Amino acid sequence: MPVVQPASPSLPAAKIRAITTVPLIGESPKGGWSAEIKPEDSIHALIAVHTDAGITGFGSVFTDGRLVQAALKVLEPLFLGENALEPERVTEKLHQNTFWMGRGGSLTHAISGIDIALWDILGQATRMPVGRLLGGTYRTRVQPYCSLLMEQPAEMFKVITRYRKDGFRAFKIGWGPFGRAMNAKLDEDIVRAARDAAGPESRLLVDAGASDAHWPHGLKWAMRTAEMLAKHDVGWFEEALKPDALEDFCHLRRVSPVPIAGGEVLTRRQTFQPWLVKGAFDIVQPDVTKVGGISEQRRIAWMAHDFGVKYIGHGWNTALGLAADLQLASAFPDTDLVEYIGGSPYVDGILREPFVVDSEGYLAIPDTPGLGMALDPEKVARYTPDARLLFQA
C-alpha cells in the first residue's frame, strides 16, 4: 500500500525566539499574611513569549519576579525555537525535563506563565478565544466574587458596602484577624457584619487562610467554625485546615454543613489526585498562575468533574490571571464564579480596557482571539522598572 503523507499544517510554526518577564512592584496588595506583604514586594510577575511570527503572548506568574527571571534562564535551552502553537506539548516538555530540580516550585510557577502566554498566542494565530480552543463555550459571562481581606466588624461592613456599590453581588472575605485573634466571637462578628453589608441575596464565602505560617488551629476548630458559618449562609469554607492535612480535610468535608474548598497551594495534576480520590473537597481551587498554566488547570478541572467536585480557580493574582480564569470558566459546565481581588491595581490598572461588572454583577467573557485582553504599556510601566521588556518587537 502506498504511504500516505501527512497533510501540511494549515498554520506555519511560530517559533519562540525569546521569553521575557518583569516583576510587578510598588502597589502589591496586602495579603493578610502573618509576615505581611509590603507594597514594594514582588509577589506577581508578567511574562511575554515572543515569536518569529510577530505574535506575542502574555501570561502571569504568582511568585517573586526574581525567581521567574532565574527560572527562565534555566528553561531557555528547552523552549528556544519551539513551536508556540503547541502549548501542551511545549510546557509538558518543560515539566518532564526539569523534574529533578523539584516539582511544584519556582520552575513550575514560571512554566505556568509561559503556558498561559502560549495559549494566548494559539488563540491569536487561529483567531479564536482560548475558551473555544479548550473545547467549547458553556457561558458567555460569569459572576466574579470580590475577594477582600477580613477587617474588624465595623470596617468589614464598610468595605463590603463599598464594593457592593461598585456592582459586585458575590464576596469572599479571608485572612486578617479571622482565627488568628483566637476569638470565636470576633470571628462570628466579622462574618455577621459581612453578611449584613452584602445582603441576603448576595453570595458570601469565607477563607480562613490556614496555609499561612504557623496556623494555630486544627480539625476541631474547623468543625466548630463550619457550624457557625452555616448560620450566616456562607457558600463555602476555604483553607480551613493546614494545607497538608489531607485526612482532616476529608473528615471536615463529611461533617461540615457548608461546602469545603481548597487546593490553591497544590501544583501539577498529580498532586491533586489523592485529594480528589479521597474526597477532601467540594470545590477544588487550583491557581492557573502557579499550578502549571491553562494546560494543567484544564486537566485538573476535568478530573475534578469526574469525581463530582466543582472546579473554581483560585485567582488572587493579576489581570492576566483573571483573563485566563474567564476563558477557563467559559469551557467548564459548572464553573460559575471567578475570583476578583478588590482594589488591586495589578487587576484594575494594567489593561487598555479595564474589567467592567455589569448591572447584574457579572463579567463578560471575551470572545476575541487569545485571552481577549490587551495590556497597556504605559500603565504597566507604573508597576515595573522596565516594562519595555514585555513589549519589545
In three-state secondary structure terms, 364 is strand
Question: What's the whole-number mean pLDDT along residues 89-111?
Answer: 94
State the Rg of the chain over Cα: 21
Query: What percentage of the chain reaches a pLDDT higher than 70?
Result: 97
DSSP string, 18-73: EEEEEEE-S-PPP---SSPPPTT---EEEEEEEETTS-EEEEEESS-HHHHHHHHH
Nearest to 292 by CA among 52, 90, 147, 77: 90
pLDDT above 80: residue 229: yes
In three-state secondary structure terms, 50 is strand
What is the pLDDT confidence band of residue 143, given thresholds at 50, 70 and 90? very high
CA dihedral 83, 88, 94, 95 (to 10 degrees): -170
Find out whether 174 and 150 touch, Cβ atoms under 8 Å. yes
Question: Residue ranges per domain, the chain?
Answer: 16-128+377-391, 132-364
Give pLDDT, residue 10: 79
Question: What's the whole-number mean pLDDT along residues 326-340?
Answer: 98
Whole-structure pTM value: 0.96
Place of cell 518577564: 21
DSSP conformation class of 376: -
pLDDT above 70: residue 210: yes
Cα 110 from chain centroid? 14
pLDDT above 90: residue 254: yes
Question: What's the whole-number mean pLDDT along residues 285-314?
Answer: 97
Per residue in 2-59, pLDDT (tens digit) is 555 554 557 899 999 999 999 999 999 999 998 999 999 999 999 999 999 999 999 9
In three-state secondary structure terms, 260 is strand
Strands 141-149 and 56-61: unpaired
Give pLDDT, residue 392: 83
pLDDT above 90: residue 315: yes
Give pLDDT, residue 261: 98
Domain 132-364 fold is TIM Barrel (3.20.20)
CA angle in degrees (0–180, nearest 5) for 224-227-230: 150
Give pLDDT, residue 103: 83
Please state, in angstroms and rounded to a whole number, the distance separating the CA atoms of residues 25 and 385. Answer: 8
Give pLDDT, residue 3: 55
Contacts of residue 92, defined as CB under 8 A and 6 or more positions apart, other chains included, come to: 295
Find out whether 373 and 323 touch, Cβ atoms under 8 Å. yes
Question: What's the whole-number mean pLDDT along residues 62-66?
Answer: 97
Give pLDDT, residue 231: 98
Strands 337-341 and 141-149: parallel
Give pLDDT, residue 9: 58
CATH 3.30.390.10 at 16-128+377-391, yes or no: yes
Please state, in angstroms and rounded to a whole number, the distance separating the CA atoms of residues 77 and 75. Answer: 6
Per residue in 269-284, pLDDT (tens digit) is 999 999 999 999 999 9
Give pLDDT, residue 343: 94
